[in-house]
């Protein structure tokens, strides 16, 4: 177990290192930089801009800047944001929390809905329930995330049952405890709904196909022959046997949800890392871009690591290998 | 069984081809130029085509009425139909241009109405530009960005996958490590990271190809890994050993024996990747990082909806997003049918199919 974990961790570290180098080089190749807009202003002299560039270390060669950035990572600062004039980590911390709240709620929701639907559909394969859900998932899968987000928002604006946009209502900033919690949950409904709707078709199709494969096997037929009730066969016998591909899917779905949540955050003005990344790219704030991209990688890697560990615990065959 | 899949493949491919023809012929099918503004008619509703007039008489030639703005100048415009003057729809109308047109532009449009009247079958946007025309011209950008970017990433993926799988040793290690890094990023973040190294404002023309190269670069890792797997198993086949025994060169073996083996994976991946690449272009343009105005794309046509009052009042601004649904349905149908038809290694089992789909999505 320890050897297995160490191997995976080393790989994850290598990937994180690679991603940081990649983003660093890409951003360095980009034309234009944060101080370019300042140069156009007649009130700021050339010398000031040059001095600022030297102060922020932009005149140094790329490897030196990378090493300096690594140093700031080790201090837990993750670089320096020119636009906010502050280290990146304090800026990123609350944003990261907000994104994670959203992503994990959507993750839980989509799996909790997808498993029963997938199992139900698989148990009725070929019948009308299967057809209807097949057509439904095909349509939902063909609907781009942008459209789902905008559609959910438009619907919410029409009926006005739920608050749209942001995380808290402006007036509740003083309220503490359960009132604040309730406000947060109400604000979360729409983005979570949009994210779940985007994720659901893929998961349902996947649960269905994993279950179909298991339902064909002799031990299920034997269980049926013993007169075990169908519901127990499905959830007690077939689902655990189908768990393997689903667990690896779980790890992958973390990454898919992070991608989806970026867009939904921008559409629903959720104060997560998505809008921050967009802003940083538009402002040419390099270290914020690197930090956010690295954060997303970290969670994708952590998701697949978690899935690997779960697989290791769930499946004895992997342990032997 | 196989026959049915063939039928499906043909159906999807032909429908998609006709969509692309429609979009390519935008100069003929669209009633207006995509950048032509009608400032007095912002956010006009889609016009109704009338066959029966108010007296119940039947007209063989459908006609449109004018929308009259009844709202005040502050709020969103409120339109009411005014049928005191009708504009019969004319087909194959000759274009009256003020400026000299490019030599290639068609002189006729499929439909239009007589001079002072205007026809907006899908409404107008905030500058009073015809949504139908923008939809057709925007499809040129969005659909072909998908095709070209897929070509790029599949070409890159297939070449690198072949090299990695066939030659093994250090090229394999290097390529697969880099692919791992590309796959460790959630795809939108990868897209953004790659996008960060282009200039902020992209016009039409050359930047379009820059954008395509960014989208293409974001997607090469998955196909290259799949191709590598197929090449690895194909390399062990007896006919490859035999060919090598007869003294065939590496290039010959790759071309004659390995390439046909990977066709299945490449085609299946193509159908999956195209919709992914279209989605990438839409997402970038929607967020203002893609092609800039006034060039229309299906993504930047949706960008106006980030304003709440537009989202609430003007459902017709969603048309470009709605147009994507049938296109994606057809591409997914094509991908599924190709998957089943080729039974490509690594894709044949039902369970694998969706996992590949999701992995592309990541």
Tens digit of each residue's pLDDT, chain A (321 residues): 788 888 888 888 888 888 888 888 888 777 767 777 677 777 777 777 777 777 777 777 788 888 888 888 888 888 888 888 888 888 888 889 999 999 999 999 999 999 999 999 998 888 888 899 989 999 998 999 899 999 999 888 888 787 777 777 766 566 667 777 888 888 889 999 999 999 999 899 889 988 988 888 899 999 999 999 988 998 888 988 888 888 888 888 888 888 888 889 999 888 889 899 888 888 888 888 888 888 888 888 888 888 888 888 887 777 765
Q: Which residues of A touch B198 (CB under 8 A)?
A: 30
Tokens 């007039």 label which residue?
B53
**B280, B275, B279: which is closest to B192 by C-alpha?**
B280
Share of chain B above pLDDT 90, in %: 13
Q: At what angle do helices B259-286 and B319-342 cross, to 10 degrees?
A: 170
Residues A17-57: tens digit of each pLDDT: 888 888 888 887 777 677 776 777 777 777 777 777 777 77
Residue B83 has pLDDT above 90, yes or no: no
What is the spatial distance between Cα B272 and Cα A208, in angstroms, rounded to a whole number?
20
**A/B interface, count of CB pairs below 8 Å:** 171
Q: How many CA atoms lie within 13 A of B304 on its CB side?
A: 27
Q: A208 to chain B nearest CA, in Å?
A: 9
Token pair, residue B329, equals: 């349905």
Beta-bridge partners for B108: B94
Asked if residue B62 belongs to a domain, the reply is no
Question: Which fold would CATH assign to domain A93-320?
Answer: MetI-like fold (1.10.3720)
Residue B352 has pLDDT above 50, yes or no: no
Chain B CB within 8 Å of residue A256 CB:
yes
What is the spatial distance between Cα B174 and Cα A14, in angstroms, rounded to a whole number?
13
Cα–Cα distances in angstroms (integers) from residue A173 to residues A160, A179, A270, in the given order: 21, 10, 16
Asked if residue B274 belongs to a domain, the reply is yes
Chain B CB within 8 Å of residue A231 CB:
no
Asked if residue B211 belongs to a domain, the reply is yes
Token pair, residue A232, equals: 């127990």
Per-domain residue ranges for chain A?
A: 2-88, 93-320
Q: Which residues, other chains included, contact B120 with Cβ-Cβ below 8 Å and sequence gap of 6+?
A: B41, B44, B46, B47, B130, B131, B132
Mean pLDDT of all residues in B302-309: 84
Entry pTM: 0.86
What is the spatial distance between Cα A194 and Cα B154, in angstroms, rounded to a whole number?
31
Asked if residue B314 belongs to a domain, the reply is yes
Q: At what angle do helices B350-361 and B221-235 cross, to 10 degrees?
A: 140
Number of structural domains in chain B: 1
A67-106 residues touching B, CB cutoff 8 A: none
**B296, B299, B348, B343: which is closest to B321 by C-alpha?**
B299
Q: Domain containing B161: what range?
A: 133-361
Strands B79-88 and B90-94: unpaired
CATH of the domain at B345: 1.10.3720.10
Residue B143 has pLDDT above 80, yes or no: yes
Three-state DSSP state, B269: helix
Residues A86-126: tens digit of each pLDDT: 888 888 888 899 999 999 999 999 999 999 999 999 988 88
What is the spatial distance between Cα B233 and Cα B222, in angstroms, rounded to a whole number?
17
Contact between chains at A143 and B328 (C-beta distance less than 8 A) = yes
DSSP per-residue string spanning B288-328: TSSBPTTS--TTTTTGGGGSHHHHHH-GGGGHHHHHHHHHH
Residue B358 has pLDDT above 70, yes or no: no
pLDDT given for residue B153 in this prediction: 92
Q: Which residues of B touch A293 (CB under 8 A)?
A: 185, 189, 192-193
Residues counted in chain B: 362
Q: Which ipTM did the prediction report?
A: 0.85
Asked if residue B168 belongs to a domain, the reply is yes
What is the spatial distance between Cα B276 and Cα B149, in angstroms, rounded to a whole number?
10
When computed from its CA atoms, the radius of gyration of chain A, rounded to whole angstroms, is 24
Query: Bigger pLDDT: B310 or B179?
Result: B179
Residue B99 has pLDDT above 60, yes or no: no
Which of B195, B311, B353 shows the shortest C-beta gap to A281?
Answer: B195
* DSSP designation for A87: E
Token pair, residue A263, equals: 């867009």
Q: Which residues, other chains included, contact B352 with Cβ-Cβ below 8 Å and sequence gap of 6+?
A: B346
What is the spatial distance between Cα A268 and Cα A150, in angstroms, rounded to a whole number?
9
List the end-to-end C-alpha distance of chain A, in Å, as a whole number: 11
**B47, B184, B266: which is closest to A299 by C-alpha?**
B184
Query: Bigger pLDDT: B20 or B265?
Result: B20
């Amino acid at each position: 177990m320890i050897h297995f974990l160490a191997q995976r961790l080393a790989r994850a570290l290598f990937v994180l290192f690679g991603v940081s180098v990649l983003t660093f080089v890409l951003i360095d190749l980009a034309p234009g930089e944060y101080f370019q807009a300042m140069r156009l202003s007649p009130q700021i002299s050339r010398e000031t801009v040059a001095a600022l560039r030297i102060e922020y270390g932009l005149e140094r060669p790329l490897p030196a800047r990378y090493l300096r950035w690594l140093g700031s990572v080790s201090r837990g600062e993750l670089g320096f944001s020119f636009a906010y004039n502050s280290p990146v980590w304090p800026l990123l911390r609350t944003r990261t929390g907000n994104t994670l709240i959203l992503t994990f709620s959507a993750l839980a929701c989509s799996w909790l809905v997808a498993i029963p639907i997938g199992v139900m559909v698989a148990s009725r394969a070929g019948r009308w329930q299967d057809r209807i859900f097949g057509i439904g998932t095909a349509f939902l899968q063909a609907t781009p995330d942008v459209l789902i987000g905008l559609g959910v928002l438009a619907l919410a604006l029409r009926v006005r049952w739920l608050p749209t946009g942001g995380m808290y209502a402006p007036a509740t900033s003083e309220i503490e405890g359960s009132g604040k919690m309730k406000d947060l949950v109400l604000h979360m409904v729409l983005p979570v709904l949009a994210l779940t709707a985007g994720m659901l078709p893929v998961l349902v199709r996947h649960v269905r196909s994993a279950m179909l494969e298991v339902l064909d096997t002799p031990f299920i037929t034997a269980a049926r022959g013993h007169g075990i009730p169908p519901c127990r066969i499905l959830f007690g016998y077939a689902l655990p046997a189908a768990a393997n591909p689903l667990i690896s899917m779980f790890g992958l779905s973390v990454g898919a949800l992070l991608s989806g949540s970026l867009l939904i955050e921008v559409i629903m003005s959720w104060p997560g890392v998505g809008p921050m990344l967009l802003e940083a790219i538009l402002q040419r704030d390099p270290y914020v871009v690197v930090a956010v991209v690295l954060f997303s990688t970290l969670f994708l890697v952590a998701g697949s690591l978690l899935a690997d560990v779960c697989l290791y615990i769930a499946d004895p065959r992997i342990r032997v290998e | 069984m196989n026959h049915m899949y063939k039928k499906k493949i043909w159906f999807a491919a032909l429908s998609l081809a006709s969509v692309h023809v429609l979009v390519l012929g935008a100069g003929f099918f669209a009633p207006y130029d995509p950048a032509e503004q009608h400032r007095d008619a912002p956010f006009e509703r889609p016009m109704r085509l009338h066959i029966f007039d108010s007296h119940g008489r039947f007209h063989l030639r459908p006609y449109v009425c004018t929308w009259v703005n009844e709202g005040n100048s502050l709020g969103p415009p409120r339109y009411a139909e005014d049928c005191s003057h009708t504009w019969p729809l004319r087909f194959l109308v000759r274009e009256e241009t003020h400026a000299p047109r490019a030599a290639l532009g068609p002189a006729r449009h499929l439909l239009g109405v007589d001079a002072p009247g205007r026809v907006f079958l899908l409404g107008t946007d905030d500058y009073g530009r015809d949504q139908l025309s923008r939809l057709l011209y925007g499809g040129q950008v969005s659909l072909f960005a998908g095709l070209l970017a897929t070509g790029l990433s599949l070409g890159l993926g297939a070449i690198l996958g072949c090299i990695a799988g066939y030659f093994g040793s250090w090229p394999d290690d290097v390529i697969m490590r880099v692919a791992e890094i590309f796959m460790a990023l959630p795809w939108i973040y990868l897209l953004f990271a790659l996008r960060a190294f282009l200039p902020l404002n992209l016009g039409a023309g050359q930047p379009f190809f820059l954008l395509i190269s960014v989208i293409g670069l974001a997607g090469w890792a998955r196909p290259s890994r799949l191709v590598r797997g197929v090449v690895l198993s194909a390399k062990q086949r007896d006919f490859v050993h035999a060919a090598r025994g007869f003294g065939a060169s590496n290039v010959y073996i790759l071309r004659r024996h390995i390439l046909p083996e990977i066709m299945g994976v490449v085609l299946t991946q193509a159908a999956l990747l195209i919709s992914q690449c279209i989605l990438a272009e839409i997402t970038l343009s929607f967020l203002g990082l893609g092609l800039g105005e006034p060039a229309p794309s299906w993504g930047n046509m949706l960008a106006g909806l980030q304003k709440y009052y537009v989202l609430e009042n003007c459902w017709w601004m969603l048309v470009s997003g709605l147009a994507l649904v049938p296109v994606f349905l057809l591409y997914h149908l094509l991908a599924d049918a190709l998957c089943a038809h080729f039974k490509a290694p690594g894709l044949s089992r039902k369970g694998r199919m969706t996992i590949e789909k999701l992995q592309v999505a990541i």
